[in-house]
Amino acid sequence: MAGRPPAENCCAGFTRTEAMRAAIAAGRQPNPREWDPRMPIPAGTGMDRRRFMLGAAGGLVSVYGAGRLGVGGRALAEGIAQAATTQSPSSPILVSIFLAGGIDALSVLAPTQDPTYRKLRPTLALSPSDGTPFAEDPRLSWGPAATGFAQLHGAGKLTVFPGIGYRDPDMSHFTSRHYWEVGAADTRVMTGWLGRYLDQVGTAANPLQGLSMDSEMNPTLATAVNPVAAMDLPESFSLWLHDVWGDVFSLTLDAASSMGDAHRRAADPALAQVAGAASEVGVVRRALAPFRNADGKPSYTAPVSYPTDSKSDFPQRLAGLAAMIAAGLPLRCVALTPDTQFDTHATQSETFTPGLTTISEAIAAFQADLEARGIADRVLVHVWSEFGRRAQENGGRGTDHGAAGVGMLIGTRTTGTMVGEWPALTNLDANGNQKENVDFRGVYCSLLEQWFDHDAASVIPDARTFARYQLIR
Amino acid sequence: MPSIPSSPIATLRGRFTEKHATRLLWRAGFGPKPGQAKRLAALGLDSAVASLTRPRGRARLIGRAPHGENGLPLDPIDVWGDDHCWWLDRMVRSDQQLVERMTLIWHSWFATSIDGATAALMLRQNRMMRARALGNFHDLLVEVTRDPAMLLWLSGTENNKYSPNENYGREVMELFTLGADRGYTQHDVHEQARALTGFDNRWSEGRGPYDFHFDPELHDTGVKRIFGQRGRFNYLDTCRLCVTHRTHPSFMVTKLWGYFVADPIPAGVLRALEHTYVRSGFEIRPLVEAILRHPLFYEGARMVIPPAVFCAGLLRGSGNTVQTNAWAWIGEQTGQRLFAPPNVAGWDYAHWLDTSRWTARFQAVNYALEKNTIDPESKTYDIHENASQALARALAFWGHPELSATTKDELRAFSRRAQTRIRADWEQRPYRVMRQNALRALIPTTPDWQTC
pLDDT of residue A89: 66
Antiparallel, parallel or unpaired: β B224-226 and B229-231: antiparallel
Q: In this predicted structure, what is the pLDDT of residue A281?
A: 79
| CA–CA separation, A258 and A243 (whole Å) | 22
Share of chain B above pLDDT 70, in %: 100
- CB contact (8 A) between residue B376 and residue A241: no
For position A215, what pLDDT does the model report? 58
Residues of chain B found within 8 Å of residue A225, distances taken between Cβ atoms: none
pLDDT of B283 higher than 50: yes
**Chain B contact present for A343, CB below 8 A:** no
Binding-face residues of A in 255-284 toward B, CB within 8 A: 255-256, 258-260, 262-263, 266, 268-271, 273-278, 280-281, 284
Across chain A, how many H-helices and E-strands are there?
A: 13, 12
Candidate from A56, A259, A277 with C-beta closest to B410: A259
Q: How far apart are CA A341 and CA A18, in angstroms?
A: 10
Residue A251 with chain B: CB contacts under 8 Å: 414, 417-418, 421, 438
User: H helices of A57-201, where?
Assistant: 73-80, 105-108, 115-120, 147-154, 173-182, 193-201
Q: d(Cα A208, Cα A195) in Å, to the nearest integer?
A: 12
Tens digit of each residue's pLDDT (9 = 90 or more) over B145-176:
999 999 999 889 989 999 888 889 989 999 99
- Spans of chain A below 70 pLDDT: 1-89, 205, 215-217, 237-238
Confidence class for position B373, pLDDT limits 50, 70, 90: very high
For residue range B231-252, what is the model confidence (pLDDT) as tens digits?
A: 999 999 999 999 999 999 999 9
For the stretch A243-278, pLDDT in tens is 999 899 999 999 999 999 899 889 999 999 899 888
Taking only the tens place, the pLDDT of each residue in B181-208 is 799 998 999 999 999 999 999 998 888 8
- Check if the beta carbon of residue B401 is closer than 8 Å to that of residue B443: yes
How many CB pairs lie under 8 A apart between chains A and B?
193
Q: In the predicted model, what is the mean pLDDT of residues B98-127?
A: 95
A251 and chain B in contact, CB less than 8 A: yes
CA distance A167 to B323: 53
Please give the Cα distance from B59 to B94 (Å, whole number): 6
What pLDDT is attached to residue A67? Answer: 24
Q: Look at residue A35 in the predicted model and tell me its pLDDT.
A: 30
Is A29 within 8 Å of B78 when comparing Cβ atoms?
yes
Q: Which of A54, A241, A260 sits opposite B356 (nearest CB)?
A: A54
Amino acid in the structure at residue A328:
G
Contacts of A54 in chain B (CB under 8 A): 354, 356
Q: Which of A206, A207, A212 lies closest to A232, judged by CA? A: A212
**B254-B259-B262-B263 Cα dihedral, nearest 10 degrees:** -20
Give the DSSP H or E segment for B98: helix B97-109
Q: Identify which of B115, B332, B441 has the shortest CB distance to residue A32.
A: B115
Mean of all residue pLDDT scores within chain B: 95
Angle at the Cα of B167 from the Cα atoms of B307 and B106, rounded to 5 degrees: 30
Round to whole Å and give the CA distance between B231 and A47.
43
- Cβ–Cβ of B303/A255 closer than 8 Å? no
Question: B447: which chain A residues are within 8 Å (Cβ-Cβ)?
Answer: 259-260, 263, 266, 271, 274-275, 278
Q: What is the pTM of this model?
A: 0.70
Contact B335 A249 (CB under 8 A): no
Q: What is the pLDDT of residue A68?
A: 25
CA distance A239 to chain B (A): 8
**DSSP string covering B287-301:** HHHHHTTSHHHHHS-
For residues B52-57, average pLDDT: 96
In this complex, is the C-beta atom of A51 within 8 Å of any C-beta atom belonging to chain B? yes
The pLDDT of residue A413 is: 98
Contact of A5 with chain B, judged by CB distance below 8 Å, is answered with no
CB atoms within 10 A of CB A119: 12
Nearest to B354 among A23, A55, A246 (CB): A55
Answer whether A271 sits within 8 Å of B447, measured CB to CB: yes
The closest of A343, A397, A425, A374 to A101, measured between CA atoms, is A343
Q: Do B354 and A244 touch (CB under 8 A)?
A: no
> Between chains, do A241 and B335 touch, taking CB under 8 Å as contact?
no
On chain A, the residues whose CB falls within 8 A of the CB of B362 are 239, 256, 281
